[in-house]
Structure formats: structure tokens, C-alpha cells
Structure 1
Amino acid sequence: MKKVSKKSPVPLYYQLKEILQEMIENEELKPGDAVPPERELCEVHGISRMTARKAVMALVNEGVLFREQGKGTFVAEPKPKHLLTRLRSFTEEMEEQGFSVRSEILSFSIVEATLQLKKNLKMLPDQSKVVEIKRLRYVDELPYALETVWLNHDKVPGLTQEKLEGESLYTVLKNQYQYHPAYARQTIEPISLNDYESKLLGVPNHSLAILFSRTTYLEKGEIMEFTKCIYRTDRYKYEIVLQP
């Protein structure tokens, strides 16, 4: 292990953070490996316990490391990536990367559409109801994302919670209604989780998260769905491909 330099203008904790990061990138520390305890880091580098803890917690907050009460700190598995230039279902995207995926339906209801939802779904004046589906998405059995989907009720007659159990929503829409998504518009913004969201996702109260709001269209410009999905930042990253 390299050692921090007390002559460097770079803060000691940040030097140690980069040393640990480099060890992970060079596979000296692999996913599941224990990171040297803070006491050992202090002895090796001649730094305070507070400095060592600050370096380790910086990597924990980035999702590079994770802590287990009473056991220690370990190297996390690489974060799944979400490629923003391809329109695929959550299930398809995660399974392509080799992760197991499942969804827990928290609620399935038919409700009166708000004025904003009517605008988002471009509903006709005589259309007033939407199907609202709230799901907790799991990746490798860890809570990963909290999703709410709204569909124009008139466009999905007969859709029930039972039809969605264990199935991808996109698969059901394709097979049952012959809806094939053509393109989508999506916004991304950082948010602070409320108590309810934090509990479902298994993170501390008011943790930072990423909110995706997406409108998915069919070929002729009709709207298929409007979705809001909250992703944990400690287990998620997104990738954008830029082309000239």
C-alpha cells in the first residue's frame, strides 16, 4: 500500500481515499474483500482515526465500499449502469448486465387523474381515470429503485395487478395491447428522500437519490406511459453516449 505524504497540499483523507480507490481499480482489493480497519490505516499512514474514517466514509458514500455492523468495511460490487441512449425496460436492462431482477407491487389502483397527469398523458377531455402502479424494484435482492407508473385507463382495458405479477410492464403492454415503445423523453434531477422512500430503499433518512421522469411514446406520437422512478445513488450510475 502506498503511503500518504504529509508534505503534499492535498488533504490527508483525500490522499488515503485515492490510495484505496487505486487498490480497488488495480484489483488488489476485489468486491467482497475487507478493507484494512481504521486502526491499521492509522498505524500505516501515521494519521488520526478521524482522518482514516473520513477517507473510508467518502468511498462508502460513493458506493465503492459498504459497511456491515460489527463486521467491517468491504469493497462493493460495481454499480449497474443505465445507458440513457437506449429505450428498454428496467428488467431487460439489468438482466443484460447479468443481474437478477424482481419487482414488488406496492399498490395497483385506478384513480382520478389530476390536471397535470392529464397533460402528461395527453388525455382526451372525456378521459378521467388512470392506472397508477407503484413498484419497488430489486436487483440481486437489494432494494434498488422506487417506481410509479401512470397509464391512461382507457388505453389498457382489463389490466390488473395479477397480470403484472412477475412480469415486465413493457412485456405485458406488448403482448396484451400490442404497444411497442418508439421513443421517450426523460428528465433527471437530484432529490432528497423522505422518510417513507428512505425506509423502502433501505437507506438513511433524507439520503440523496436520482429522480427520473419519463414519458414514453408509441410510433405515431401517442403516449404509452408516464413514469417517475427514484434510484439510489449508492448503487446506481448512468451512462450517456455522445456522438458527433
Structure 2
Amino acid sequence: MDQTREPASAKRSLIDPSSRVPLYHQILIILRNQIFSGELRPGALLPGEQELADLFNVSRITAKRALNELADAGLVVRERGRGTRVCDAPPPPTVKTSVEGWFENISLMGVATDVEVLEFDYVPAAAEVAEALLVEPGATVQRTVRVRLLDGEPMSYLITHVPEDIGRSFDREEMGHFPLLTLMERHGVKVADARQTVSATLADPEVARALDVHAGSPLLDVRRVVRDVNDRPVEFIRVLYRPDKYQFEMNLKRVRRKEGMQWQSLAPDTSVRVEEK
């Protein structure tokens, strides 16, 4: 087993203190990509907490959390007195996010994944799109279909609709290089909040081909309406995820309410609850 310490190749330019993405998560993504790319080989020792903190100009607590998150994901093993080493057989790459942390995770996607634009056009709004964007049925909207790739493998199939005036502010090429929220914010859209639903569906033949799965395979079906500070819907997105590549998780706390005992999310900015049935 090769336990020679390999350089982390840390580039401080990849760490953005002004980003919504926490610093520990930015470091986690960089190290994770180095593991899956082979730059950090099985058995290789990672920098220690203090060394990692110095490399990225962050606190030791931040560096420690990044390493702990890698360990929780099964990518590294942390042993007291022996350091942190890459697992001999790291699990296949996946992306995990909390339901309430979707906006933060959207920013991470641009760091960890690639995108292929399959369709980019202006189309009449179908009934579901018109209802979501609060426009008249048949009104022109910008529609994009993309596939997001994680380490070269398709992870999700995205269908986005935005009002025409917003869609005209960027083009197909930009959609292939930047997250849609980033493009909208660059052009003056001030995103405030969103409402999303998560369910399950089966892959139709077109989606199955794009995601490299069999037709009829189960998929996570996420639909989200994003609003700006004026409460205007500025994006309606449907994302179909391969469940082997993407997971949602939620931290819950048992609380007593007048209706009885319930599960409530620990996140302060979400009202998601799971009631006992």
C-alpha cells in the first residue's frame, strides 16, 4: 500500500470566501475530485488539519470539518496518530444535499460537475409552465434541456423554463458553462426564495438515453419554482436525478406540538415537517 503523502495541489483561487458555499465544502469538493481523478491515489496520505488550513488559508476547524466530511462519505480513513489516507476502494461518486440546502448545492454543482446542453429554444408556455411562472398559456418562454455529468457520467436531466425577458439575457453557450441562477443574478435578477417538491418517477426512453439508464428505471423527480425579491417567478425547473448519483438528506428533531409528537427539520429556515402516521 502506498502511504506516501501526495500534494493536495491546493489552489487558493478555487476558494471563494464571498461564495454562499461554505469554505469547508469548497475544500471537500476539491479533495474529492482529486481522489476520483486519481491525483490522490488509494492509500495516499492527505495533508493534516493544520497543513490543509495553511494551504487554503482557512481555520483549522474548517479544515477538520472538510476531512471529517470526506471520511463520512467513505472516501478517506482518519486514524489518530497516523493521519488521513484515501480508502483503498473509494465508493462511486455521488452528490448529497439537504432538502433545505438546495441553493447552496446549486453553487457547488458548478465546481463538481459538467453540463451538456441538449436543447435551447423559445417556446409557447404549456399549462404547467404557465401556472408556475404566472404567465398566460402560450406566452413565449425560454426552455433549456441539459444533462449534468459527475466525473463524466450523467447524473441529472434538467428542464428549465424562464420568462422570455430573462431568457434573452444569456445564450446557449453560457448555459453550458454557468449555473442558471448565476446567469440570472449576473443580469440583475435578485433571487429571494423557492418552493420545491420531491417525488419519484420512471425514466421515459428519451430521458433514459440521456442518463444512460434503462427505460423505466426509477428517478428522483424534483420540481422547483424560484422567485425574486418582488415575488415574481423567475424560473421553473424540473430535474430528474439518478438515485445512485444524488441523494437528499434531512436532519430531524422530535418535538411536541398541540397536535401530538412530530418530526421537525432542524434547519431554521425551513417549515418541512414529517408527521407521524
TM-score, reference length from structure 1: 0.62
Compute the displacement of 1:204 (Å): 2.2
Unaligned regions of 5+ residues in structure 1, if any? 1-30, 34-63, 65-73
- Residue number in structure 1 paired with 2:125: 113
Specify which of 215, 218, 233 is matched with residue 228 of structure 2: 218
Q: Which moved more, 1:220-229 or 1:165-174?
A: 165-174
Specify which of 114, 134, 151 is matched with residue 122 of structure 1: 134
CA distance in 2, matches of 1:228, 1:191: 12
CA distance in 2, matches of 1:142, 1:119: 33
CA distance in 1, matches of 2:114, 2:167: 23
- Contact kept, 8 Å, 1:217 with 1:224, in 2: the verdict is yes
Unaligned regions of 5+ residues in structure 2, if any? 1-35, 43-73, 75-88, 252-264, 269-277
- Quick one: which amino acid aligns to residue 129 of structure 1? T
Matched position secondary structure for 2:210: helix
Distance 1:89 1:130, change over 3 A: farther
Distance 1:216 1:193, change over 3 A: same
- Contact kept, 8 Å, 1:131 with 1:150, in 2: the verdict is yes
- Residue number in structure 1 paired with 2:143: 132
Specify which of 143, 160, 164 is matched with residue 153 of structure 1: 164
Distance 1:198 1:75, change over 3 A: farther
- Residue number in structure 1 paired with 2:249: 239
Distance 1:110 1:208, change over 3 A: same
Does residue 92 of the first structure (1) align with residue 103 of the second (2)? no
Compute the displacement of 1:154 (Å): 2.7
- Residue number in structure 2 paired with 1:196: 206
- Residue number in structure 2 paired with 1:49: none
CA distance in 1, matches of 2:156, 2:185: 23
CA distance in 2, matches of 1:158, 1:217: 17
- Residue number in structure 2 paired with 1:56: none
* Number of aligned residue pairs: 170
Compute the displacement of 1:155 (Å): 3.4
For the pair shown, which has the larger CA radius of gyration, 1 or 2? 1
CA distance in 2, matches of 1:204, 1:161: 28
- Quick one: which amino acid aligns to residue 114 of structure 1? A
Higher RCO (C-alpha under 8 Å, 6+ residues apart): 1
Compute the displacement of 1:90 (Å): 5.4
CA distance in 2, matches of 1:75, 1:89: 25
For residues 1-244 of structure 1, the aligned pairs below 5 Å read 76-77=91-92, 79-88=94-103, 91-94=106-109, 100-123=112-135, 128-176=139-187, 178-241=188-251, 242-243=265-266
Matched position secondary structure for 2:103: coil
Compute the displacement of 1:124 (Å): 5.5
Compute the displacement of 1:104 (Å): 0.3
